[in-house]
Structure 1
Amino acid sequence: MKRHNPSTIMLMNLSSLTRSKIKRIFGFALGMMLVCQVHSESSSVEMGHVLQVVGRAFVGGQLAKKGTPVYEGAELSTGADGYLYIQTIDNGFLILRPSTHANVPLYRVDSKSPEASRFKFDLKNGVARSISGNAVAPARSNFRFNTPVAAIGVLGTDFTVSTDAESSKISVSSGGVVVSGLGPGCSSESLGPCNVMTGQRLLANQTGVMLEVKRGIMTPQTVKDVTQSPDTVAPPRVDEPSKKGGDAPLTENKLNAEKVAMLQDARFSVLNSPQAIVWGRWQAIANEPVDMNLVDALGQGKLVGLSSYFAVIKSNNAQWLMPQEVQVDFRLSDYRAQVVQLANLSAQAATVENGQLQVNFAKQSFNTSFDLVSNGAKTNLFATGIVGRDGSLSNSSQFATGSNMSIQGGLANPIGQTGQLAGYVFQSRLDSSRIASGVTLWMH
């Protein structure tokens, strides 16, 4: 009996196949390779969920929504006006601010052996804040936060990072970090702080100090210029979760409970405002008392503007009829304004000068500006936005095009009276330590 070499048999079998069959075989093999590759780059392990999203933000290439689950390996990104708050499965937070791209390739909580838990974050560009969850403390040696140029380990921490391809800056709000530049002995593939001589610690008690890592330089440099801090590059929203002082992270339920308690404690007295628009301070701060009970005021009309401290309500004694004029210029009639120091939540009254509000009904747009004066310093605040068919005034955030403050409010016609009224709340992050907020009333 004639014996054939196995390789000869394979060649004979291939030669007996038609060209179309060979294409189908190779096509199937290639498809299986791609499936395997995609599967290897994704994971069914859930590391957390979206607690809040503002503006445009994406999880795994899809528009993020409140409650969206976040799995290991999913690409995370935000638009120019986007904020993404992700709560991890152990009650930590990963917060992405505008124009940010990140990934969480590894988030494994081992409940049986907590010290064996493993965590890895990759911030590719932009600004992100990491608040360690409950599972991180026993597994600090297995926690890593990478940027294109730096490796960051934690000491049980709340820290913020801004980065591009060439440099990273790190600030700490609570706890501490260990930072080194990527290079020999410090690989992005490793977990935990890099065990190299170039590693530098940064603790929260080093007030006003940041660490900066530049490409090709493994030793971080100390930076004290607050204008370069991550919080200045992309300021946080006032509702951003916090874990300062060792408090448990703020969950959505806790935030809502605190807001309800504040409303129940508020007193009601309407400021000097026309009856068509009710406005005032619904939350007390420092020595500044409340002016309105928001719950009671809502019974009088529709809430059209709300910030951390002020509210605007279009009362039931108002209507909205689109004016015949294409463009209307309003004059500033009254206001309340303040500047809040974030370190101790103290408030200082501010004045508003040179107010302008112009509404273009043909283009369904508005622009407004004024000078905010506080402690002898003058800051020009401005915004552009959209006029809704219901007379609403809004922009997406202080980072929207043509804006450095966020606006929420509305237009109204007092029943039985001529002219139009406008009222809006405003809020602006002035720098890393101060927020301006207030409410304005306008007449035409």
Structure 2
Amino acid sequence: MNIMTPQPVYRMMTSLILRARTVAVAVTMATALAAGSTLAHAQLETVEPVGEVSLVLGNAYIEHTDGRRSVAVPGSIIVASDRIHTAANGHVHIRFVDQALVSVRPDSRLEIVRYDYNPDQPASSSIKLNLEEGVTRSISGHGATAARERFRLNTPIAAIGVRGTDFVVNASSGAVRAQVNEGTIVMAPFSADCTADAFGPCLANAVELTGTSMQMLELDGSTTAPQIMPATVEREPGMMREEVNQAIAASEARADDKTAGTEEYLENVTAQRVKQEAANVARPTTPPTTPPVVPPTVAETNFTPELAIATEQLQQNNLIWGRFGSAKGDLERITAPFEIAQEGRDWMVGLGDYRLFRDSNGRDRVDAGLGPVSFELSSAQAFYDSGTGIVAMAVTGGKFDINFNTRQFSTELNMKHNLTGNVDFITSGLISETGIFHNRTGPEPATMAGAVSLDGKEASYFFEQQLQTGGIHGLTLWNKR
């Protein structure tokens, strides 16, 4: 992957500075006329910007160092010491001057503590973010890539350093979890040897996690060091990944003109997304009504059992889905109570009310020499959630192929319901040596993750996908052909 040259970044930063200073002058003049603003306040407004909001969904605002709050909108300038707050329906993307991308998800607070970046000397960068609460995703830019020992993401109880990374962090006052999509992170709890005011990764009680492990780090008050846990999926619309890929494609396509076009391309990508979301928000809506209970569409083939599979029969499989509580109640077909499913098995992946367990028999690596393997669908359960009600869908077919030599997989699942028509879930991704897999491509937004038995004879995954109205989700069980 070719990294864009810093010229477009510098050009963007210069543009942002001019805009910020223009705004600063206007704000200072208006404030002075209305209330006699002080010179100190005017100087505060001319702090150089470090980034710009590229996308806003729902409600969010920016809290400035002087206590002022402004509504976050596309184009809002971000400076060091700003805090981004998102409401329950809020989602904000920020593109920094070094081309780093940060996503602030609903019900979150992120502080930009420091962002010193010089395109002429990127190795001297100093970057520190502070996730006070909620979920954020960070894709490293030129600054963190060139100055890895000077990047830090703080949480209430732990520090995170990077090794050129794309990662997601979920933090609260007493716990923090992190997953890595690409690269490596280092997490360590705060201590006398790891203080919040320092930069870079800590060494004391630190644990490293790579994207290829397909696991997560978790730290809470019950442990002295982060623990490696099975992965859970963090929902993400995938817009940030698209911005990065589009920007790289633009820079490669226009290699003879590095100083122009890349920034405009990024703006166009973001603008199109914002226009689409605005159109959806602006579209008149009618009060929600509870959809009628409609039975699944009758199909020639339906891999959803008419009745729930007996727990005793599910226990004979190497892979078994456990559910918390009643989950979907009478609609459950291929799950067992959590307490039964976990007996003598290892937790592999999970989402919401469900956890997938495997009988690994003390091992943690798939058998060698499996090569390409095709699976046939054994059974599945799928649901359509309209936002006002949940109905079962008919699962009419599917295919699943894994190449253990290249550690890649692809799958397709075909579903149908009167309320949705035909729906195809199609995606592909990578599988680890532990047999855990998740998708990296597919319709946006769509997520899936699962595991195979260590002998390669069974496979299972959960999936979810947003539709134009509502969304679908479900579980699958597969056997080797």
Do the aligned residues in 1 keep the contact of 2:54 with 2:270 (CA within 8 Å)? no
Deviations 1:66-90 (CA, angstroms, capped at 9, x unpaired)? 1111111111011111110001111
Do the aligned residues in 2 keep the contact of 1:305 with 1:425 (CA within 8 Å)? no
CA distance in 2, matches of 1:328, 1:145: 43
Query: Which of 69, 91, 97 lines up with 1:83 in the alignment?
Result: 91
Map 1:208-287 to 2 at 5 A: 209-215=215-221, 217-224=223-230, 226-227=231-232, 231=234, 235-241=235-241, 248=248, 253=265
Do the aligned residues in 2 keep the contact of 1:59 with 1:74 (CA within 8 Å)? yes
CA distance in 1, matches of 2:191, 2:244: 32
Tell me by how many angstroms 1:170 deviates.
0.8
Do the aligned residues in 2 keep the contact of 1:181 with 1:214 (CA within 8 Å)? no
Structure showing greater Rg: 1
CA distance in 1, matches of 2:42, 2:206: 35
If each structure's helix is expressed as a fraction of its own residues, which one has the higher value? Answer: 2
Q: 1:125 to 1:39 in 2, by over 3 A?
A: farther
Do the aligned residues in 1 keep the contact of 2:148 with 2:200 (CA within 8 Å)? yes
Aligned to 1:143: 151
CA distance in 2, matches of 1:216, 1:36: 46
CA distance in 2, matches of 1:305, 1:143: 38
Do the aligned residues in 1 keep the contact of 2:62 with 2:70 (CA within 8 Å)? yes
CA distance in 2, matches of 1:52, 1:98: 13
SS at 2:118 equivalent = coil
Do the aligned residues in 1 keep the contact of 2:445 with 2:466 (CA within 8 Å)? yes
Aligned to 1:124: 132
Deviations 1:405-428 (CA, angstroms, capped at 9, x unpaired)? 9xxxxxxxxxxxxxxxx9999987
CA distance in 1, matches of 2:196, 2:40: 24
SS at 2:78 equivalent = strand
CA distance in 2, matches of 1:434, 1:152: 29
Q: Which amino acid aligns with 1:435?
A: E
Aligned to 1:56: 59
Do the aligned residues in 1 keep the contact of 2:243 with 2:266 (CA within 8 Å)? no
Q: 1:142 to 1:333 in 2, by over 3 A?
A: same
CA distance in 2, matches of 1:81, 1:305: 17
Do the aligned residues in 2 keep the contact of 1:171 with 1:211 (CA within 8 Å)? yes
Q: Which amino acid aligns with 2:151?
A: F
SS at 2:123 equivalent = helix
Aligned to 2:210: 203
Instruction: Say whether residues 1:185 and 2:197 are aligned partners.
Output: no
Deviations 1:302-327 (CA, angstroms, capped at 9, x unpaired)? x9998xxxxxxx9xxxxx9x9xxx98
Tell me by how many angstroms 1:105 deviates.
1.0
Deviations 1:369-399 (CA, angstroms, capped at 9, x unpaired)? xx89997433443345xxxxxxxxxxxxxxx
CA distance in 2, matches of 1:142, 1:74: 19
Deviations 1:217-243 (CA, angstroms, capped at 9, x unpaired)? 44211111x34x5x1xxx112434368
Tell me by how many angstroms 1:181 deviates.
0.5
Aligned to 2:464: 435
Aligned to 2:49: 46
Q: Which amino acid aligns with 2:237?
A: R
Structure 2: 5+ residue stretches without partners: 1-37, 64-68, 251-262, 307-330, 334-376, 392-418, 424-443, 450-461, 470-481
CA distance in 2, matches of 1:404, 1:147: 36
Tell me by how many angstroms 1:62 deviates.
1.8
Q: 1:431 to 1:35 in 2, by over 3 A?
A: farther
CA distance in 2, matches of 1:87, 1:428: 20
Aligned to 2:364: none
Q: Which amino acid aligns with 2:219?
A: V
Relative to the length of structure 2, the TM-score reads 0.48
Aligned to 1:69: 77
Q: Which amino acid aligns with 2:463?
A: R
Structure 1: 5+ residue stretches without partners: 1-33, 261-302, 307-313, 315-319, 336-348, 354-370, 385-401, 406-421
Query: Which of 88, 107, 113 lines up with 1:105 in the alignment?
Result: 113
Deviations 1:201-260 (CA, angstroms, capped at 9, x unpaired)? 1111112x1111224844211111x34x5x1xxx11243436899994998836967999
Q: 1:37 to 1:221 in 2, by over 3 A?
A: farther
Q: 1:327 to 1:258 in 2, by over 3 A?
A: closer
SS at 1:141 equivalent = helix
Q: Which amino acid aligns with 2:156?
A: P
| Count of aligned positions | 279
CA distance in 1, matches of 2:278, 2:189: 48
CA RMSD in angstroms, aligned pairs only: 5.0
Deviations 1:22-71 (CA, angstroms, capped at 9, x unpaired)? xxxxxxxxxxxx9979988x871311111100011112232211111111
Map 1:321-336 to 2 at 5 A: none
CA distance in 2, matches of 1:246, 1:202: 28
SS at 2:146 equivalent = helix
Relative to the length of structure 1, the TM-score reads 0.51
CA distance in 2, matches of 1:184, 1:121: 20
SS at 2:147 equivalent = helix
Map 1:374-413 to 2 at 5 A: 376-384=379-387
CA distance in 2, matches of 1:83, 1:36: 33
Do the aligned residues in 2 keep the contact of 1:86 with 1:93 (CA within 8 Å)? yes
Tell me by how many angstroms 1:101 deviates.
0.6
Q: Which amino acid aligns with 1:381?
A: Y
CA distance in 2, matches of 1:242, 1:425: 27
Map 1:288-307 to 2 at 5 A: none
Tell me by how many angstroms 1:108 deviates.
0.7
Instruction: Say whether residues 1:194 and 2:202 are aligned partners.
Output: yes
Do the aligned residues in 2 keep the contact of 1:131 with 1:243 (CA within 8 Å)? no
Do the aligned residues in 1 keep the contact of 2:98 with 2:119 (CA within 8 Å)? no
Tell me by how many angstroms 1:180 deviates.
0.5
Q: Which amino acid aligns with 2:188?
A: S
